[in-house]
């Protein structure tokens, strides 16, 4: 009962609980008596808690301390989520492409002949793969996309820093 | 009648480069921050030093305050984490004020007051002295809820807990507070009833 009444007095009961308690307060004298006690205690707490105070010089000390510092730029100005998502997309694309290539070269019809995969990794001709035009184009595209994102990130950062500096010098 | 600028208005001004405006924010919250920290540390000098650290941290990372919570909630979160870091660094045990200090405060009755004022002062002293006997976490929950007017969700953010945990902790803190009052302030309690 006490816990429910405290929640009611503190205003944190749900709407349903609130209506249940209000009905009980109308009909039950024990609940009413307890409610008055708890209400009195709540008011006492709200009115009585005192705060301690620091020294008179506290504000001045803080202001002297912060005079040495600049406000750091918000993390969102130098952590551009689009860049991160872009880089992640590049890596995911590479992984997907690798899986597609590997599974496309698996000989699925040789099931039962030895139990293992029929294609032997040690026999893969890496020179042939990386001399393939399509693979090279794909890798180059990834590098170019990565460089484009990196350049965009650096120019945004430079622009923000320049804006901040001009705002500070204006004041 | 001119109304006081809101915390968010002051923050905007500070971010535009008006550093002196930050002093107003310090004045508004220094007592809260200091009181919370004093519950955890041994003495006022340490509490003041940590409080200063809190405001410096708040200033330096002000650009990261997004305004989706109250400034006070954000500040008290910094307070809580700074305090814990300081205590871990010093490997300090957390304790409440010792009994002597508590009772010296409780006996602070001035004969110059009227009877009503004496009773009011007695009530205030009793509550604050009893709070001082609680554990720092219990005292913090009660102070944040009743004095700093933080909601349960906000207190959960500040203390790094779930909202239901804060609710349970608040109930237990009140129970323990009542036990302290019944144990140490029998006369004052009977006067209140």
pLDDT (mean) for B122-150: 88
Distance in Å, alpha carbon of B48 to nearest chain A alpha carbon: 6
Mutate to test the interface with B, among A13, A66, A78, A163 (most CBs of B within 10 A): A66
Q: What is the pLDDT of residue B173?
A: 93
Are B137 and B171 in a shared domain?
A: yes
Residues 6+ apart with CB under 8 A from B31: A51, A52, A53, A54
Residues constituting chain A: 171
Are B81 and B125 in a shared domain?
A: no
The count of domains in chain B is 2
Distance in Å, alpha carbon of B88 to nearest chain A alpha carbon: 23
Can you tell me the distance from the alpha carbon of B181 to that of B15, in angstroms, rounded to the nearest whole number?
A: 46
Are B25 and B103 in a shared domain?
A: no
From the list B17, B30, B124, the residue facing A50 with the nearest CB is B124
Whether residue A71 contacts residue B63, with contact meaning beta carbons closer than 8 Å, is answered with yes
Check pLDDT > 90 for residue B154: yes
Can you tell me the distance from the alpha carbon of B38 to that of B136, in angstroms, rounded to the nearest whole number?
A: 9
Domain span including residue B82: 7-90
Residues 6+ apart with CB under 8 A from B30: A53, A54, A58, A59, A62, B51, B55
Q: Would B24 be classed as within a structural domain?
A: yes
Please indicate whether, in this complex, the C-beta atoms of A59 and B26 are within 8 angstroms of each other. Answer: yes
Q: What is the pLDDT of residue B156?
A: 93
Are B71 and B103 in a shared domain?
A: no
Band of the pLDDT at B101, cuts 50, 70, 90? very low
Please indicate whether, in this complex, the C-beta atoms of A63 and B23 are within 8 angstroms of each other. Answer: yes
Can you tell me the distance from the alpha carbon of A89 to that of A82, in angstroms, rounded to the nearest whole number?
A: 10
DSSP state of A110: G
Q: Cα B63 vs. chain centroid, distance in angstroms?
A: 25
Are B22 and B59 in a shared domain?
A: yes
More confident residue, B122 or B71: B71
CATH number at residue B177: 1.10.10.10
Are B33 and B69 in a shared domain?
A: yes
Judged on CB neighbours under 10 Å (0-12, 13-18, 19+), B130 is buried
pLDDT (mean) for B63-90: 88
Q: Would B162 be classed as within a structural domain?
A: yes
Please report, rounded to a whole number, the percentage of residues in chain B having pLDDT higher than 70.
80
Q: What is the pLDDT of residue A58?
A: 94
Q: What is the pLDDT of residue B40?
A: 87
Are B106 and B77 in a shared domain?
A: no
Are B82 and B57 in a shared domain?
A: yes
Are B107 and B179 in a shared domain?
A: yes
Please indicate whether, in this complex, the C-beta atoms of A49 and B123 are within 8 angstroms of each other. Answer: no
CATH number at residue B72: 1.10.1740.10
Please indicate whether, in this complex, the C-beta atoms of A49 and B142 are within 8 angstroms of each other. Answer: yes
ipTM of predicted complex: 0.75
Can you tell me the distance from the alpha carbon of B146 to that of B160, in angstroms, rounded to the nearest whole number?
A: 19
Distance in Å, alpha carbon of B137 to nearest chain A alpha carbon: 16
Contacts of B127 in chain A (CB under 8 A): 44-45, 48-49
Check pLDDT > 50 for residue A38: yes
* C-beta neighbour count of A169 within 10 angstroms: 8
Band of the pLDDT at A139, cuts 50, 70, 90? confident
Can you tell me the distance from the alpha carbon of A26 to that of A34, in angstroms, rounded to the nearest whole number?
A: 13
Whether residue B48 contacts residue B30, with contact meaning beta carbons closer than 8 Å, is answered with no
Contacts of A56 in chain B (CB under 8 A): none
Q: Model's pTM, two decimal places?
A: 0.64
Are B169 and B121 in a shared domain?
A: yes
Alpha-helical regions (H) of chain B: 7-15, 22-38, 44-60, 71-90, 99-106, 115-133, 136-142, 152-159, 163-184, 186-192
Can you tell me the distance from the alpha carbon of B169 to that of B143, in angstroms, rounded to the nearest whole number?
A: 13
pLDDT tens digits for range A122-134 = 666 767 666 678 8
| Domain end among B26, B57, B90 | B90
Are B171 and B109 in a shared domain?
A: yes
Number of alpha carbons in the 13 Å side-chain half-sphere of residue A8? 23
pLDDT tens digits for range A22-36 = 999 899 889 999 999
């Amino acid at each position: 009962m006490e816990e429910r009444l405290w929640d009611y007095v503190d205003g944190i009961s749900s709407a349903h609980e609130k209506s249940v308690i209000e009905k009980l307060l109308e009909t039950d004298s024990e609940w009413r008596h307890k409610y008055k006690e708890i209400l009195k205690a709540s008011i006492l707490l709200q009115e009585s808690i005192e705060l301690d105070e620091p020294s008179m010089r506290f504000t001045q000390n803080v202001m002297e301390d912060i005079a040495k510092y600049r406000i750091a730029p918000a993390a969102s100005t130098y952590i551009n989520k689009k860049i991160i998502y872009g880089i992640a997309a590049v890596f995911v694309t590479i992984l997907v492409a690798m899986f597609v290539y590997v599974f496309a070269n698996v000989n699925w019809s040789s099931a039962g002949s030895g139990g293992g995969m029929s294609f032997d990794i040690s026999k893969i001709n890496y020179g042939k793969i990386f001399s393939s035009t399509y693979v090279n184009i794909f890798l180059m595209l990834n590098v170019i996309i990565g460089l484009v994102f990196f350049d965009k990130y650096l120019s945004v950062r430079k622009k923000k820093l320049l804006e901040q500096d001009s705002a500070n010098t204006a004041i | 009648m001119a109304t006081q600028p809101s915390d968010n208005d002051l923050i905007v001004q500070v971010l535009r480069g008006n550093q002196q405006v930050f002093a107003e924010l310090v004045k508004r919250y220094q007592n809260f921050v200091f009181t919370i920290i004093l519950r955890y540390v041994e003495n006022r000098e340490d509490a003041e030093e940590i409080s200063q650290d809190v405001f410096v941290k708040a200033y330096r990372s002000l650009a990261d305050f997004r305004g989706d919570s109250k400034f006070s909630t954000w500040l008290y979160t910094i307070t809580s984490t700074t305090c814990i870091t300081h205590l871990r660094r010093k490997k300090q045990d957390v304790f409440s004020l010792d009994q002597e200090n508590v009772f010296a405060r409780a006996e602070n009755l001035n004969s110059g007051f009227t009877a009503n004022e004496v009773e009011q002062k007695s009530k205030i002293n009793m509550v604050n002295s009893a709070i001082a006997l609680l554990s720092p976490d219990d005292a913090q929950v009660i102070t944040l809820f009743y004095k700093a007017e933080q909601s349960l969700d906000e207190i959960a953010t500040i203390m790094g807990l779930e909202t239901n945990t804060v609710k349970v902790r608040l109930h237990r803190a009140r129970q323990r507070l009542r036990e302290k009052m019944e144990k140490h302030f029998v006369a004052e309690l009977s006067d209140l009833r």
